[in-house]
Amino acid sequence: MNSQQPALIIAGTHSGCGKTTVTLGLMAALKQRGLMVQPFKCGPDFIDPTLHLLITEQVSRNLDVRMCGPAYVQHLFATHAVTHAPLAENPPAQGIAIIEGVMGLFDGGQGSAATLARLLNIPVLLVVDVRSAAESVAAVVKGFEILDPQVEVAGVIFNRVGSERHVQMISHAVRQHCQAEIIGALPRENKIALPSRHLGLHTGPEVALNRQSLVELIEEHLDVDLLLKVAQQVKVKPVVYSQEDTEQVAGVARLSDPIKVRLGVAQDEAFCFYYQDNLDMLAKAGAELIFFSPLHDATLPDTLDGLYLGGGYPELYAETLAANTSMRGAIRAFSSSGKPVYAECGGFMYLTKGIVTADKEEYPMVGVYPVRSRMQQGLRRLGYRQVEMQTNTPLGLAGNCCYGHEFHYSTIDTMPSAIQRGYVLDDGRAEGYLKDNTLAGYVHLHWGKTPEAVQYFVYIMQHVRTL
Residues 13 and 104: beta-carbon distance below 8 Å: yes
Taking Cα atoms as reference points, which of 438, 67, 466, 76 lies closest to residue 281?
76
Residue 12, beta-bridge partner list: 104, 127
CA distances from 34 to 60, 89, 94 (A): 18, 9, 8
Q: What is the 8-class DSSP label of residue 301?
A: P
**Annotated catalytic, 17?**
no
Angle of the 451-466 helix axis to the 276-284 helix axis, nearest 10: 50
- Cβ within 8 Å of residue 258, ≥6 positions away: 286
| C-alpha dist (Å) from residue 340 to 62, 286, 365, 380, 382 | 26, 15, 19, 28, 27
26, 183 Cβ separation under 8 angstroms: no
Can you tell me the distance from the alpha carbon of 98 to that of 8, in angstroms, rounded to the nearest whole number? 5
In 3D, which of 51, 196, 205, 25 has the Cα closest to residue 125? 25
Cα angle 110, 103, 427 (rounded to 5 degrees) comes to 50
Strands (DSSP E) contained in 138-248 are: 153-161, 181-187, 196-197, 200-201
The per-residue DSSP string of 377-431 comes to SS--EEEEEEEEESS-BTTB-TT-EEEEEEEESEEEPPPPTTSEEEEEETTS-EE
Give 436's DSSP letter: T
Give how far Cα 87 sits from Cα of 35, 36, 95, 128, Å.
8, 8, 10, 34
- CB atoms < 10 A from the CB of 407, how many? 20
What secondary structure letter does DSSP report for 222? Answer: B
> 296-321 as b/e, with b when 16 or more CB fall inside 10 Å?
ebeebeeebbbbbbbbbbbbbbbebb
Residue 16: CB partners within 8 Å, gap ≥ 6?
A: 129
Query: Among 17, 42, 272, 345, which one carries the catalytic annotation?
Result: 345
Closest CA to 407 of 342, 346, 343: 346
- CB hemisphere CA count around 168 (13 angstroms): 3
**Catalytic residue positions, numbered:** 345
